[in-house]
Amino acid sequence: GAVVSQHPSRVICKSGTSVKIECRSLDFQATTMFWYRQFPKKSLMLMATSNEGSKATYEQGVEKDKFLINHASLTLSTLTVTSAHPEDSSFYICSASSGQSEKLFFGSGTQLSVL
Amino acid sequence: AQTVTQSQPEMSVQEAETVTLSCTYDTSENNYYLFWYKQPPSRQMILVIRQEAYKQQNATENRFSVNFQKAAKSFSLKISDSQLGDTAMYFCAFCDAYSGAGSYQLTFGKGTKLSVIP
């Protein structure tokens, strides 16, 4: 089946630094990728939707200058948390859609801890 | 905006028994998709079962089946012969069919934590 690789699985960084999370579709072309945030024992909250070659669409309340999303190719989307602060600590999950299959494939997630 | 409600924060079931997780949703759309996802301690999201709203027949996948009541906007998940590996968070999710070609933007419920007791 289709596989989405998300890297890194865990990252610890100092406050004020930037962190980049990668999401790759390994065996299909992902026309659309989604980025979610999940707080402990909570549900997934959609942050943004990215389509290859165009600007991401951010959900209300998500700071686009803080959470930079790039979807430069059909197999790679990146989420960069800029000037990270402790309140950005969370579990981030990406998902990808091929557009030709009525299925969505999830990455394994990234646990971000900002000290 | 669509909403998905899971009214059971936690549930438990004895191994080999059957358990039903409830989910209701609110939408004005007529064509949409409904999903149940499982998130085990590894936190990997795993698709359990999927239902298209235009299909009256309830979806089944081995030990997993749904009771889809479109008029009532209800979409419950039944797990038969529960196994220890079924212990996980279960999320109900909604996606309208008009999110754009290939764009399956999901709205998730808050989840139900299921514990299978040996």
Q: What does the pLDDT look like over A27-79, one tens digit per residue? A: 888 888 999 999 888 899 999 998 888 889 999 999 999 999 998 888 999 99
Q: What percent of chain A has pLDDT over 70?
A: 94
pLDDT of residue B84: 97
Q: Closest-CA residue in chain B for A108?
A: B44
How buried is residue A82: exposed, middle or buried, by Cβ count under 10 Å (0-12/13-18/19+)? middle
Confidence class for position A1, pLDDT limits 50, 70, 90: low
Residue B11 has pLDDT above 90, yes or no: yes
- State whether residue B55 sits within 8 Å of chain A by CB: no
CB-nearest partner of A34 from B44, B46, B105: B105
The pLDDT assigned to B56 comes to: 86
The answer to whether B48 and B61 have CB atoms below 8 angstroms apart is yes
Beta bridge partners of A49: A34, A57
The pLDDT-based confidence of A112 (bands split at 50, 70, 90) is very high
Q: Provide the 10 A C-beta neighbour count for residue A79.
A: 25
The distance of B17 to chain A (nearest Cα, Å) reads 25
**pLDDT reading at B99 higher than 60:** no
At B22-74, the pLDDT tens digits run: 999 999 888 888 999 999 999 999 999 999 898 889 999 999 999 999 999 99
Which residue of chain B comes nearest to A99, CA vs CA? B102
Give dist(CA A100, CA B89) in Å, integer.
Answer: 28
| Interface check B100 vs A, CB under 8 A | yes
Residues B2 and B105: their CA atoms lie apart, in Å, by: 11
pLDDT for residue A53: 81
Sheet of A4-7: strand order equals: A4-7, A19-25, A76-81, A67-73
B89 — pLDDT class (breaks 50, 70, 90): very high
- Contact flag B33-A108 (C-beta cutoff 8 Å): no
> Is residue B37 within 8 Å of residue B91, measured between CB atoms?
yes
Contacts of A46 in chain B (CB under 8 A): 105-107
Dist. CA B83–CA A4, nearest whole Å: 27
Q: How confident is the model at residue B102 (pLDDT cuts 50, 70, 90)?
A: very low
